[in-house]
A and B are shown apart, each in its own frame.
Chain A
Amino acid sequence: MVHLVLFIIFGVICVAGAVNLLVQRHPIDSALSLVVVMGALAGLYLLLGAEFLAAIQVIVYAGAVMVLFVFTIMLLNAGMEERTRGSKVALMFGAPGLVIGSVLLAWILLQSKPSVRPVGVGSLYGSARTIGHLLFKDFLLPFEITSVLILIAIMGAVVLARRESQ
């Protein structure tokens, strides 16, 4: 019961943050609401027993990535978002598409059988130890390729953001 209450609390915070991201017109407000979403998601991960992922979510996502976003917003001195008129084509295809998509999704959800068993909290325990074992045994090659990817990303970011000097 207490888990359901926690799920509802974190879920409501998540959705509220996501909607606030859409509503706010200043990018820094959107960034802060995204931090709220990520923090609430970390709580949900803890609820699912993924404690390593919850820690990574807070450290990497809510910490590093969002700091990068906030730095960029401040560096570019991004102001209020401009309002532009939406295109007619988008309205023409978007509104029916939205209706069709939601009807389709609702139909599929109504058709599907309820899941066989509830998501058992604590039935799976993703501690740093078990995830580490998996990363360095079964997923060793992807893990090493990831390090190369990050190296390339660092170099790409430096090259792209560098001021051109003639």
Chain B
Amino acid sequence: MTGNLVDIPLEYYLVLSGILFACGVAGFLIKRNLITIFMSIELMLNGVNLSFVAFATYWKALSGQVFVFFVMVVAAAEAAVGLAIIIAVFRTRETLNPDRVNLLKL
């Protein structure tokens, strides 16, 4: 699998990754639904993963891809726990709007 070098500059991947991350941050800030906010966090993780894989190919270091593997595993665990927390919040507050979840104690 050597040769066949194709001219995709590293910056293209980094800019795309930055756009995805920025969309995630914007969603995290402007969305008014706990589940969508959580999805924005996943979007940010995906943006970072893309730059990891691009750098792994750029530096020819496979450990970058292994790191992405670990990020995915932790994201999956985080999604399970986070959604369970959202379910628990919804049971007690009956709302998914984070503006109405403003009391520590009911």
Q: Please, how many residues of chain B have a CB less than 8 angstroms from a CB on the other chain?
A: 72
From B16, B29, B33, B75, A65 is in contact (CB under 8 Å) with: B75
Q: Bin the interface of chain A by size.
A: 35 or more
Any A CB within 8 A of the CB of B35: yes
- For the complex, would chain B's binding face be called helix, strand, loop or mixed by DSSP majority? helix
On chain A, the residues within 8 Å of B62 by CB distance are 124, 126, 130-131, 134
Which B residues lie within 8 Å of A15 (CB)?
Answer: 16, 19-20, 23
Min CB–CB distance B96 → chain A (angstroms): 6
Q: Is B88 a contact partner of A160 (Cβ separation < 8 A)? A: yes
Interface residues of A (CB under 8 A from B): 1-4, 7, 11, 14-15, 18-19, 21-22, 27, 30-31, 34, 37-38, 41, 44-45, 47-50, 52-53, 56-57, 60-61, 64-65, 68-69, 72-73, 75-76, 78, 81-84, 86, 90, 94, 105, 109, 114-115, 117-126, 130-131, 134-135, 138-139, 142, 146, 149-150, 152-154, 156-161, 163
